[in-house]
Structure 1
Amino acid sequence: MKRKCLSSLPVGLLAALFIMVLAASALAADFPSRPFEVIAPGGAGGGWDTTARLTAKVLGETGLITQPMPVINKPGGGGGVGLAYMQKKKGDPYSLIVYSPPLLLINLTGQTKLSFRDVTPLAMLINDFGAFAVPKDSPYQTIGDVMEALKKDPKSVKTGGNSSFGSMDHIQFLQAAKAAGVENIKDIPYIAFQEGPMAALMGGHIDLLSTGMAETVGPLEAGEIRVLALTSPERVDAGVLGQVPTLKESGIDTAFINWRGFFGAPGLGEAEKAHLVEAMQKMTETAEWDDVCAKNGWTKAFMGADDFAAFLAKTEGEYKDLLTEIGLYKAQ
């Protein structure tokens, strides 16, 4: 049937189709043949920037990508500026961007109509986790103590973080509170600090800080704070944080993963997509990547394109439920 249909096409059209197929095959075989553009949708020195630069460095050092991979910072809108920029790169296999949970949250909270479906998921590379800290003289000895106080009065514990209301630091604590059986989680006070949330904690301006693990290490070693729990699925093997229980160990059956991964432009070709995913998978198996992860306290967590896309859809649903409960779900 297919042969009959093709044979009925004009010779000129058949020739054009044949040339297009050959051109696509040549592009795939020659890929990559020019420098990439790697977008970090945040400022220099942040998590996205660090992940982008170190990934590009290891891919180059190991010869898995033979073309330059310069990193360009496009901060703004919680990652929304970078996401909008990628829409101009449709089908371009040389444009890559790194993201983490805010990619989902900025869409769910109505900050942008764009979502992870408007880029091409390539690979999750690492997991990082959150931490819940209190001042050294806090009356709360365990995360369970905090949750019991919130069950009695959800306004009794003033929390804070570096991310905005409804973003990562806020959501990871609400997820823990909900799993612990706290009702009316929308009433839990949360203050977003653009900078200096640790100083606010130690100065007594908040009762509990929800933050990333790495931010707690120095103050914890200095004895200035106590970390009550980590959001990791299993206890971490990382210095002083190795002594901190997980939420699950504390009787709260949940975990919050600060994943980071790479995305291609929308409409990325399958051959180029497969090439990039394979390069990133091989990278995660190198000693160079092991060293990078160890130095940064990252957990290796490679996930290929299809599994990554499924993970994003599932996680999006979980975030949606939380944001709906606190009145912040505004996706269109």
Structure 2
Amino acid sequence: MNMKLKSVMIGAAIASVAAMPLSSAVAKDYPPRTLSFVAPSGAGGGWDLTIRTVAKTLKDTGLVESNMPVTNRPGGGGAVNLAYMQTQKGKANMISVYSPPILLTNLTGASKYSYEDTTPLARLITDYAAFVVSKDSKYTSIKQIMDALKNDPKSVKIGGTSSAGSMDHIQFLMVAKAAGVPKLNQIDYISFQDGGAVAQVLGGHVDLISTGLGDVVSLVKSGNLRALAQTADKRIGEGVIAEIPTVKEQGIDATFENWRGLFGPKDMPAYAVTYWNKTLKDMVETPEWAEARHRNGWDDAYQSGEEFTKFLAKTNEQYKEILSEIFSK
């Protein structure tokens, strides 16, 4: 081959690569060898359980071969990690789990960032709130708790793993409001974001924990905690879990869904968004994921990224109305 022809061919090849869209050129190398999965909470909570279950299922099913270490980045009811995500704009290798606090921390002023400062990838599951006490507690029903609060809003100390004004706090106040408890802003709520809420209720330092049912399933099954109520519109689970009465059964007209989904940084590249939409859709259809949902008492609530974004916008408005009602007095 003469030098002139070779030069022309090399030039054409370079021009072809240069003309190739950047996303196409990078997409074939995605995902990278290591992905960064993040739980914006301490170990052992609902976010931690969800993201670790996702990583294990993706690995076990062979859907993703990359390393998927999970980092815990607690603080501010998820606000600390949400702020960190702003430093990762446009990047493709970070996946974080969130639930209602990604909306609530913004609506209550705890964070200036919200779901609009991320890339929603998929809603995966719905858990429900659970209100649990120690096995030796004098309280045996959620109605007894509400009656005590009606007489004295300081008589029951409530603990949770989210920050004040965020999910564990709000879900309890929603039920209290529906039960007719006055002076909601006087109820003592103590946040244990380090995951120490269970130890606090077992030690008698708080009377009740407001949490996600999936977070305390094993402790309820073991008998160390007693669940007074859960917030689905029906009985759920099996065995001891199926014995937990709903709030509505106890004469309080309230429900609460603790949905959980995955988010990438804002402006996540289109090739990564496309990859995760397909991969997560495939994951939720596997028997491994079905078994994990069954084991943790999660209901299927899958939505693609586009559907999830619409859901978030609608839910954000609903939460805004709820907060306005609760804190209007």
- Give TM-score, length-normalised by structure 2: 0.80
Paired with 1:135 and 1:40, the residues of 2 have a C-alpha distance of: 27
Uncovered stretches (5+) of structure 2, i.e. residues with no partner: 1-14
How far did residue 81 of structure 1 move? 3.0
Could you say which residue in structure 2 is the equivalent of 1:308? 308
Residues 264 and 186 (structure 1 numbering): CA distance in 2 closer, same or farther, change over 3 Å? same
Paired with 1:187 and 1:207, the residues of 2 have a C-alpha distance of: 16
The aligned runs of 1:153-172 (5 Å cut-off) are 153-172=152-171
Residues 51 and 191 (structure 1 numbering): CA distance in 2 closer, same or farther, change over 3 Å? closer
Could you say which residue in structure 2 is the equivalent of 1:284? 284
**SS of aligned partner of 1:264:** strand
Paired with 2:218 and 2:261, the residues of 1 have a C-alpha distance of: 27
Uncovered stretches (5+) of structure 1, i.e. residues with no partner: 1-15
Could you say which residue in structure 1 is the equivalent of 2:3? none
How far did residue 154 of structure 1 move? 3.8
Paired with 2:212 and 2:238, the residues of 1 have a C-alpha distance of: 14
Paired with 1:218 and 1:63, the residues of 2 have a C-alpha distance of: 28
Could you say which residue in structure 2 is the equivalent of 1:50? 49
Q: Check whether the contact 2:174–2:326 (CA below 8 A) recurs between aligned residues.
A: no
How far did residue 277 of structure 1 move? 1.3
How far did residue 91 of structure 1 move? 2.2
The aligned runs of 1:136-175 (5 Å cut-off) are 140-175=139-174
> Deviation digits for residues 161-213 of structure 1, max 9, x if unmatched?
34332222211110111223333322223233456544544555444332332
Paired with 1:45 and 1:133, the residues of 2 have a C-alpha distance of: 16
Q: Check whether the contact 1:159–1:190 (CA below 8 A) recurs between aligned residues.
A: yes
Paired with 1:58 and 1:139, the residues of 2 have a C-alpha distance of: 41
Percent identity over the alignment? 49
The aligned runs of 1:177-326 (5 Å cut-off) are 177-193=176-192, 196-202=196-202, 204-214=204-214, 216-217=216-217, 220-221=220-221, 226-325=226-325
Instruction: Give the paired residue count.
Output: 312
Q: Check whether the contact 1:93–1:269 (CA below 8 A) recurs between aligned residues.
A: yes
Q: Check whether the contact 2:106–2:112 (CA below 8 A) recurs between aligned residues.
A: yes
> Deviation digits for residues 288-312 of structure 1, max 9, x if unmatched?
1122223333333212112222222
How far did residue 151 of structure 1 move? 4.1
Q: Check whether the contact 1:186–1:325 (CA below 8 A) recurs between aligned residues.
A: no
Letter of the aligned partner of 1:211 in structure 2?
T
Paired with 2:64 and 2:134, the residues of 1 have a C-alpha distance of: 46
Residues 31 and 231 (structure 1 numbering): CA distance in 2 closer, same or farther, change over 3 Å? farther
Residues 189 and 116 (structure 1 numbering): CA distance in 2 closer, same or farther, change over 3 Å? same
How far did residue 281 of structure 1 move? 1.3
Paired with 2:59 and 2:282, the residues of 1 have a C-alpha distance of: 12
**SS of aligned partner of 2:240:** helix
Letter of the aligned partner of 1:100 in structure 2?
S
Q: Check whether the contact 2:173–2:326 (CA below 8 A) recurs between aligned residues.
A: no
Letter of the aligned partner of 1:161 in structure 2?
G
Paired with 1:252 and 1:296, the residues of 2 have a C-alpha distance of: 25
Q: Check whether the contact 1:174–1:322 (CA below 8 A) recurs between aligned residues.
A: no
Paired with 1:63 and 1:111, the residues of 2 have a C-alpha distance of: 39
RMSD between aligned residues: 3.2
**SS of aligned partner of 2:66:** coil
